[in-house]
A and B are shown apart, each in its own frame.
Chain A
């Protein structure tokens, strides 16, 4: 489903010449490369149909089933009302905050790393990624030791007599965003690092040669070159965050419930599959909206570039 959204629009059908279209299709199919490609694609398509499309379709049906067996939108109305709506909005807000923060930190980190020698760059990347081989539960307990009221950071701040210390860095939204940002950081760093490595070093040099200052080079040359990576990383972060729940559950307060926690609660404790299915579909639609946004931004950029060329 995601593929069809992102795929380029099919060529407009030509009702005047059905024979011509058929001939083109036949010719395309008779090419060895096409047949080989189709053969190769079959396992993946079957795999996706059985294990992805079918279950999602089942979830969709479940979310539309009334308790008496008829059809209803009751579960969606329920999901968009009262505490459930709050939870949905909280999820969106935390996801947005997390993607913004991990973009900023990821940008700084990736920019620094891309200037390092490959050996050092590799080492820094390992440091960014290795914590994610540790179980999320253990990592979260690590955060408690670091961020708690009597944790390392607050002890240091109190020791330095910083006004207001100790700060509450856990069991509120700050705690959640710190936790989820650390989880999402590798994605942004890796994506941005790849984009930054691909930038032609001669371009900033040429701009400098033309008399541009550092800020102008950054704003007019470097940033536009990195922009596609920023958009991709930001939206990837956002989408991944939407379905995340372990870290928010462990590092947040009662107000930082994410939709995924609500789904778990409904299925595991209340045996309420319909409501959970409706929430799942809403999450899926939000993900599609993110992907669609990505596509729109891309085509807008392409259009702008074409105008600039002509």
Chain B
């Protein structure tokens, strides 16, 4: 049964491809063209395919977004977990097997450069207008769905009752004695921002990053950094085994340890936020349903339900009205944490990543 449906889809897509070829000029003229709605649109398409990164993140999506969406609209949601390069290859061949992309906002900047994602028609997203999503989370081809963050974590039993409250304290190995851990190049973008904050750069003056100054500050703490961690689980192990007393960590990774009674805590000042967004690939088969799903995901109650299951911050502020304060206090986009942290500048990193990576490698071997 399911196979037959796929065959039909592929066939229709082929027909649509011919139609799209014929109406190519009119398509470029009017954006989301009529050729598409003939093939996929409206009532007869009952399946929508979403790309997300899977794992517990994907499971939370299923519970908080996809299943309620199916219940309300009757449109089934299928999921594929493919990487950026595969998505791009499918889009460039003109036959993406997915209708909605759930991916990091950084990847959407790359999609923009490759002209691989639809320019969104925000008039079709009813919930967007009153959502009040931060401008940094709205691109022409994507709208932010939730935040994640790198934060500081420390052992509460390590400093004799003192609590580090900033990256400057993290760097101050005289007052806060003990080994540190920071993120390695293999895991994600290097934490130059934390070094600059520790060196006295204000939150709103970080970008463009002063790379020389950042590496100078990193050199000051290099001797105390026992491990540059390269997998998300390692900070929890290092802190739990007392190998280090403070580390950067992807927020959420310590929740289970803290709930299990480990003397660990997050420190939110200077948290580096990144975000996931939703967009539509060029050549998607079900554009109408794709807009419906994106709009659905921006409802405050859906955003709140997601945050209850998975420790990522809602992008829609109104979601916090529907969350218990205990949950809200541990989320990256709560009003206080929005003040005390900063958004990673995706464009700066895309422009400078290669040079910084090279410099990082030379720095570690110096």
Give A contacts to B, CB under 8 Å: 82-84, 86-87, 137, 141, 144-145, 148-151, 170-171, 249-250, 253-255, 257, 261-262, 264-265, 269-270, 272
Partner of B237, one of A141, A257, A265: A141
- Whether A254 touches B184, Cβ cut-off 8 Å, given contacts A82-B362, A83-B365, A270-B353, is yes
Partner of B241, one of A86, A144, A254, A255: A144
Q: Is B237's CB under 8 angstroms from A254's CB?
A: no
Across-interface contacts of B362 in A (CB, < 8 A): 82-83
Across-interface contacts of A148 in B (CB, < 8 A): 241-243
A246 to B237, CA, bound (A): 17
A83 to B237, CA, bound (A): 29
Q: Does B337 contact A (CB under 8 A)?
A: no
Show 9 A/B contacts (Cβ-Cβ < 8 Å), sorted by A: A144-B243, A148-B243, A149-B242, A171-B227, A253-B227, A262-B361, A265-B186, A270-B357, A272-B354
Q: Does B230 contact A (CB under 8 A)?
A: yes
Contact mask B177-220 → A, CB, 8 Å, 1/0? 00100001110000000000000000000000000000000000
A85 to B344, CA, bound (A): 32
Question: A-B pairs with CB below 8 Å: how many?
Answer: 62
Q: Does B226 contact A (CB under 8 A)?
A: yes
Across-interface contacts of B230 in A (CB, < 8 A): 249-250
Q: Is A83's CB under 8 angstroms from B361's CB?
A: yes
Q: Is B186's CB under 8 angstroms from A86's CB?
A: no
A187 to B290, CA, bound (A): 54
Q: Does B364 contact A (CB under 8 A)?
A: yes
Across-interface contacts of B237 in A (CB, < 8 A): 141, 144
Q: Does B231 contact A (CB under 8 A)?
A: yes
Across-interface contacts of B186 in A (CB, < 8 A): 249, 261, 264-265, 269
Partner of B243, one of A137, A170, A265: A170
- Whether A254 touches B226, Cβ cut-off 8 Å, given contacts A148-B241, A149-B242, A150-B243, is no
Q: Smallest distance from the beta carbon of B38 to chain A beta carbons, Å? A: 37
Partner of B228, one of A82, A254, A265: A254
Counting chain A CB atoms within 10 Å of each CB, the highest count among B234, B353, B361 belongs to: B361
Q: Is A257's CB under 8 angstroms from B226's CB?
A: no
Q: Smallest distance from the beta carbon of B103 to chain A beta carbons, Å? A: 16
Q: Is B241's CB under 8 angstroms from A265's CB?
A: no
Q: Smallest distance from the beta carbon of A48 to chain B beta carbons, Å? A: 27
Q: Is A254's CB under 8 angstroms from B353's CB?
A: no
Q: Smallest distance from the beta carbon of A263 to chain B beta carbons, Å? A: 12
Q: Smallest distance from the beta carbon of A166 to chain B beta carbons, Å? A: 11
Across-interface contacts of B185 in A (CB, < 8 A): 265, 269
Across-interface contacts of A171 in B (CB, < 8 A): 226-227
Q: Is B364's CB under 8 angstroms from A254's CB?
A: yes
Q: Is A150's CB under 8 angstroms from B241's CB?
A: yes
CB-based nearest A residue for B242: A150
A270 to B110, CA, bound (A): 13
Partner of A145, one of B228, B241, B354: B241
Q: Is A257's CB under 8 angstroms from B361's CB?
A: yes
Q: Smallest distance from the beta carbon of A82 to chain B beta carbons, Å? A: 6
Q: Smallest distance from the beta carbon of B363 to chain A beta carbons, Å? A: 9
* New A-B pairs, 12, CB < 8 Å, besides A149-B243, A265-B185, A265-B357: A84-B361, A141-B237, A144-B237, A144-B241, A149-B242, A253-B226, A253-B227, A254-B365, A257-B364, A269-B185, A270-B353, A272-B354
Q: Smallest distance from the beta carbon of B67 to chain A beta carbons, Å? A: 32
Counting chain B CB atoms within 10 Å of each CB, the highest count among A83, A249, A255 belongs to: A83
Q: Smallest distance from the beta carbon of B108 to chain A beta carbons, Å? A: 16
Across-interface contacts of A250 in B (CB, < 8 A): 230-231, 234
Q: Smallest distance from the beta carbon of A196 to chain B beta carbons, Å? A: 39
- Whether A255 touches B357, Cβ cut-off 8 Å, given contacts A144-B241, A144-B243, is no
A160 to B144, CA, bound (A): 57
Across-interface contacts of B179 in A (CB, < 8 A): 149
Q: Is A255's CB under 8 angstroms from B365's CB?
A: yes
Q: List the 3 closest pairs (A to B, CB-CB), nearest first.
A: A254-B364, A83-B361, A83-B362
Q: Smallest distance from the beta carbon of B314 to chain A beta carbons, Å? A: 29
User: Which residues 214-254 in B have Cβ within 8 Å of A in the complex?
Assistant: 226-228, 230-231, 234, 237-238, 241-243
Across-interface contacts of A82 in B (CB, < 8 A): 362
Counting chain B CB atoms within 10 Å of each CB, the highest count among A148, A170, A171 belongs to: A171
Across-interface contacts of A141 in B (CB, < 8 A): 237
Across-interface contacts of A269 in B (CB, < 8 A): 185-186, 353, 357
User: Which residues 314-364 in B have Cβ within 8 Å of A in the complex?
Assistant: 353-354, 357-358, 361-362, 364
Across-interface contacts of A144 in B (CB, < 8 A): 237-238, 241, 243
CB-based nearest B residue for A262: B361
